[in-house]
Amino acid sequence: MSIIDSALKANRNYAKRYDPKLGRPPAPKIAVVTCMDPRLSNLPEILGLPQADIDVIRTGGPAVTEDVLGELVVSTRVLGTTEIMLLNHTGCGFTTFTDDELNVKLAAVTGDVSPAPMRFFSFKDPEKNTREQINIVRSHPWIAKDVPVRGFVFDMETGLLSEVEPVREQTAA
């Protein structure tokens, strides 16, 4: 049985004990942008927050793309979250290649160059990545200035979060 088929079967049982109250509109309090890495799936435990409080926005890396910015705008302006957390981590799969390398490799493996250059948002340094993300989110005109935007690196070896200090914007002399 495929994994999806087995998931469908399990869902039949899940629905039997489903709480219909969960059908009500959610009231999330915080938006967390994090990586698609499965080790970051248990955010309620990692952050000690109820699942219902967290809008989880996940991309590889994570990457703060135009889509992610749109989701953060909706999360804070429409859904009611009041804080933004950018959660990177050590040992990310997106640090194991560069966009150029993967484009070349996939074009060769598939014999089809037409999707290149695809943007995979690979990176090398999670702290630097986090700092860039804070700048991108903080400087978006539709993210309200009173919404805190804080960035962290989750250490896969210890389970601890370290805060990444944003770079102060240079003021023109």
What are the residues binding Zn ion (CB under 5 A)? Answer: 35, 37, 92
Task: Kindly state the smallest distance separating residue 21's Cβ from Zn ion, in Å.
Answer: 33
162/73 Cα distance (integer angstroms): 25
Task: Kindly state the smallest distance separating residue 37's Cβ from Zn ion, in Å.
Answer: 4
Q: Report the candidate in 126, 146, 151 with the shortest Cα–Cα distance to residue 136.
A: 151
Task: Kindly state the smallest distance separating residue 170's Cβ from Zn ion, in Å.
Answer: 30
- Which residue's CB is nearer to Zn ion, number 37 or number 55? 37
Exposed / middle / buried, residue 127 (Cβ in 10 Å: 0-12, 13-18, 19+)? middle
Task: Kindly state the smallest distance separating residue 13's Cβ from Zn ion, in Å.
Answer: 31
Residue with tokens 């869902």: 11
- Measure CA 17 to chain center: 30
- Which residue's CB is nearer to Zn ion, number 58 or number 143? 58
- Which residue's CB is nearer to Zn ion, number 59 or number 135? 59
- Which residue's CB is nearer to Zn ion, number 37 or number 71? 37
